[in-house]
Structure 1
């Protein structure tokens, strides 16, 4: 169980602050069930209510600063996704996003980045699907790493590139 004031990753919503843990006074909600009341950092006007025993959506602590440093020092060894059948590409992308794991998000980002380079070399553009999942993965990863490292989110791409170039 998490505590009020902690920051967590909540599914595709990303980084959220736990504002409260309580029952809900909403018609239809069980009166004895506890909920996390979450405030997404990237959606200031939103509030998420989720049962503390929710098994359908990933909820976990944000990655530690030490784990970020380890992850970034190993970035060159993170493998790209292997998608042998193009019909299943989006499914593979969705699974990476849904996992909420930084390593898988980096794998997805690398996959799409190299795919983009290859397609540009062939005189083609990146597909809308690739662009969409690249942005989701990058936004989710940058938000979490920014929170862990206390680096402004708009500086995360440069921070990561600097770490990669010097490792």
Structure 2
């Protein structure tokens, strides 16, 4: 269970701060809820049951795990799937698990494909581009917080590590 003030990863919203843990009654049923908001968006308030298994909520990684995750961008990544729909379905399913090591493999592969496409004056496909942006929005911001560096520094370091295996 998380506590007031904790920073967590909450689904597609990324890094969120828990503002309160409270009990609410709806239709005569009382449940514990997290009241939270995404960092950088104080106006968006999210209320979710503490026992909500349908949404990914996980504790922020620590500095050691973050360093390991950042270093793992040097690895080649996940196998490329030529079929766009199969690739999108497979890669999205991996990202939804919340397993950071697996997410890095997907991001690493997409970043390499993006760099190769740009070298050929092309663009990464829209679905792949959107998935990569989503990963960056969540994982890269989490890495920045865990390592106490800027988001831009994370992007720079990741690009350097990805470029090693082009």
1:132 aligns with 2:130: yes
- Provide the residue aligned with 1:23 in structure 2: 23
The offset of 1:144, in angstroms, is: 0.5
Structure 1 residues 78-129: Cα deviation after superposition (integer angstroms, max 9, x where no partner): 6224425332122123213322332233212211122224434555432111
The normalised TM-score by structure 1 is: 0.83
Q: Distance in 2 between matches of 1:83 and 1:48?
A: 36
Aligned residues: CA RMSD: 2.5
The answer on whether the counterparts of 2:72 and 2:104 sit within 8 Å (CA) in structure 1 is: no
The answer on whether the counterparts of 1:65 and 1:148 sit within 8 Å (CA) in structure 2 is: yes
- Mean alpha-carbon deviation: is it higher for 123-132 or for 144-153? 123-132
Q: Which has the higher strand share?
A: 2
Q: Distance in 1 between matches of 2:95 and 2:3?
A: 25
- Provide the residue aligned with 1:46 in structure 2: 44
The offset of 1:61, in angstroms, is: 0.4
SS in 1 for 2:51: coil
1:149 maps to which of 147, 150, 163: 147
- Provide the residue aligned with 1:113 in structure 2: 111
* Displacement over 6 Å in runs of 4+: 163-166
Corresponding residue pairs, total: 164
Relative to structure 1, is the Cα distance of residues 140 and 88 closer, same or farther in structure 2, using a 3 angstrom cutoff? same
> Which runs of 5 or more structure 1 residues have no equivalent in the other structure?
none
Q: Distance in 2 between matches of 1:114 and 1:159?
A: 14
The normalised TM-score by structure 2 is: 0.83
- Mean alpha-carbon deviation: is it higher for 80-89 or for 124-133? 80-89
Q: Distance in 1 between matches of 2:82 and 2:117?
A: 17
> Which runs of 5 or more structure 2 residues have no equivalent in the other structure?
none
